[in-house]
Amino acid sequence: MNSPHSPGASWFRDLVIYEVYVRAFRDSNGDGIGDLKGLTEKIGYIRDLGVGAVWLLPIFPSPRRDDGYDISDYRGIHPDLGTMDDFRELLDRAHAAGLRVLTDLVLNHTSDQHRWFQSARYGPGHPFHDYYVWSPNPGRYRDARIIFPDFEPSNWTFEPLCNLYYWHRFYHHQPDLNYDNPEVRREMLDVARFWLDMGVDGFRVDAAPYLFEREGTPCEGLPETHAFLRELRGLCDRYQPARLLIAEANQRPSELVKYFGAGDEFHMAFDFPLMPRLFQAVRAEKAQPLEEVLRARPALPAGCQWAMFLRNHDELTLETVSEETRKFLWDELAQDPRARLNMGIRRRLWPLMNGGRRQIELLHGLILSLPGCAVLYYGDEIEMGDDLSLGDRDGVRTAMQWTMGVNAGFSAAPAEKLAVPVVHDAEYHYAGRNVQSFDRRPTSFLNWLRRMVKVHSVDPIFAGGGMRLVPCAHPSILAFTRELGDAAMLCVFNLSRYVQPAVLDLTPWKGRVPVEEIGKAWFPQIGEAPYLFTMGPHSFIWCRLESV
């Protein structure tokens, strides 16, 4: 990776990103709450994963009714997590270790406890009233869907102080900002500038599609919203090196691609269309869902790419898949009704895959070799489980497991004071799944992942190479090449639980020799005949096609 201070707008092309929930990561002062100093202590651990950036879930003052996505002060640090000096220290230490730091930028809404809304509630004429979207009745913008249908019956909530309804796309305690008001646009660009000036390397822009509303539309991805997002990009481009913008826009491919603009909007967008298909392909043991979504992947403007992920702090959303696929995934992955939330599944990666290491390696192999950046979620590297007894998405946000000691080494506080619980259930107990134990064991998933991230990161073909699907008649085999100049890397995946033959037409590379990328084993030279790989259950292989 480039050092954080080297020039060039594409420093993120070979990035692997590690997502951290600070409150649950490491408590430095024994108050039971993970904090910024605790995260700073662990910078070495994150660097040794081989990742290039750490993305922090919201760290700002907030009543925390949506875990910090309900912000009450955009320019502060939540006192539970530390101080602004702690944040500066984190930035310095991360940068010194060669890691970039990304934060969430929550543009769409504030907390109802934000001073703007507290004043706005008194009605027209009161300061900041026009910072929010009001209506005398809840009938406007009927075409906008409800994003949290398990919790909110409407996108409007009545405010008795002014006898008006206010608009919100998420929880009712998160009023949407009114982007038609130029003051709001200016304020939010100032917020972004504030953090960029401090040295933040980029933003994961939360809920990007919903900034503007227009009657008769779904109020998502409107041209006005894109125009504002381009302004935000313009701001990021004024920094050297340019700062990174990643869109959280849970949209279908044809809509999602608009968030890249003409290369003048987001540098990256989370690949929401791919994510559920990865699980579908593994559970159905079929390559087809992946081939379809990869063929439908729109071409991106230069300098743009996908951010691929398996799991994150939210539910595995199934909003953009067909009803049939949604039912399949619900039946396969969420037999326990408690696992279902809104239009998705609130489980961590390991329980989702019933602890199947081969399947999980396969999934990581995919996001580390398809074009784009891979985003990892804290704890998945140590096979962390979840806690379905907790409400909403809290079950996937439990304490990081560092050791087999007290509170899994997360905190020295008495267990009853922990801000987030530690997973105790027998199957995923922290005594068996923690960094210390996994670190020592060469065969652990943690060490496997470190090796794979390293192999991925040192090879420019994964960062900049194009991709071509290699036809294969076998329904369980997915094969593609990554290509850069004359170099080619063949990637073959067996989605089946059984050994399978992968018979591939490799004649375009006739004369070359496949050399396996990890162990460097040489395979027979490619000739005219179809080429056979014997693939173990849920296995994958990366082979450089060497000219000899």
**Residues with catalytic function:** 206, 248
Contact 121, 158 (CB under 8 A): no
Whose Cβ is closer to ligand BGC: residue 241's or residue 276's? 276
Sketch the per residue contact string, 397 through 436, with ligand BGC: x for CB under 6 A, - otherwise: ----------------------------------------
Q: Which of 207, 242, 423, 461 binds ligand BGC (CB under 6 A)?
A: 207
For ligand BGC, the binding residues in 97-116 under the rule CB under 6 A are 106
Q: Which of 55, 131, 170, 410 binds ligand BGC (CB under 6 A)?
A: 170
> Of all residues in this chain, which one has the CB nearest to ligand BGC in the complex?
69
At its nearest, how many Å lie between ligand BGC and the CB of residue 368?
23
For ligand BGC, the binding residues in 294-353 under the rule CB under 6 A are 313-314
Q: Which residues contact 331 (CB under 8 A, 6 or more apart)?
A: none
27 binds ligand BGC (CB under 6 A): no
Q: Which of 206, 315, 386, 387 binds ligand BGC (CB under 6 A)?
A: 206
Whose Cβ is closer to ligand BGC: residue 14's or residue 248's? 248
At its nearest, how many Å lie between ligand BGC and the CB of residue 144?
15
For ligand BGC, the binding residues in 226-265 under the rule CB under 6 A are 248
Which long-range contacts (C-beta less than 8 Å, at least 24 apart) are formed by 272-277?
272/317, 272/320, 273/297, 273/320, 274/306, 274/308, 274/370, 275/308, 275/309, 275/310, 275/316, 275/317, 276/316, 276/317, 276/318, 276/320, 276/321, 276/325, 276/329, 277/321
Q: Which of 45, 69, 131, 156 binds ligand BGC (CB under 6 A)?
A: 69
Q: Which residues contact 485 (CB under 8 A, 6 or more apart)?
A: none
Which tokens in the block code for residue 128? 């900041």
Whose Cβ is closer to ligand BGC: residue 192's or residue 207's? 207
Whose Cβ is closer to ligand BGC: residue 242's or residue 341's? 341
Which tokens in the block code for residue 394? 């809290």
152 binds ligand BGC (CB under 6 A): no
Binding-residue total with ligand BGC (CB under 6 A): 9
At its nearest, how many Å lie between ligand BGC and the CB of residue 314?
5
Which tokens in the block code for residue 101? 């730091």
Give the integer Cα–Cα distance in Å for 425 and 536: 31
Which tokens in the block code for residue 352? 């989702």
Give the integer Cα–Cα distance in Å for 294 and 37: 41
Classify 287 as helix, strand or coil: coil
At its nearest, how many Å lie between ligand BGC and the CB of residue 64?
11
Whose Cβ is closer to ligand BGC: residue 207's or residue 422's? 207
Whose Cβ is closer to ligand BGC: residue 208's or residue 491's? 208
479: number of CA atoms within 13 Å, CB side? 23
Sheet with 156-159, strands from edge to edge, namely 134-135, 164-167, 156-159
With tokens 């071409």, the residue in question is 299
Whose Cβ is closer to ligand BGC: residue 176's or residue 459's? 176
Classify 219 as helix, strand or coil: coil
Beta bridge partners of 206: 106
At its nearest, how many Å lie between ligand BGC and the CB of residue 106?
6
At its nearest, how many Å lie between ligand BGC and the CB of residue 69?
3
Exposed, middle or buried by CB within 10 Å (0-12, 13-18, 19+), for 281? buried
Whose Cβ is closer to ligand BGC: residue 208's or residue 222's? 208
Angle between helices 274-284 and 357-369 (to 10 degrees): 140
Q: What is the CA radius of gyration of the chain?
A: 24
At its nearest, how many Å lie between ligand BGC and the CB of residue 273?
16
66 binds ligand BGC (CB under 6 A): yes
For ligand BGC, the binding residues in 485-544 under the rule CB under 6 A are none
Binding footprint of ligand BGC on the chain (CB under 6 A): 66, 69, 106, 170, 206-207, 248, 313-314
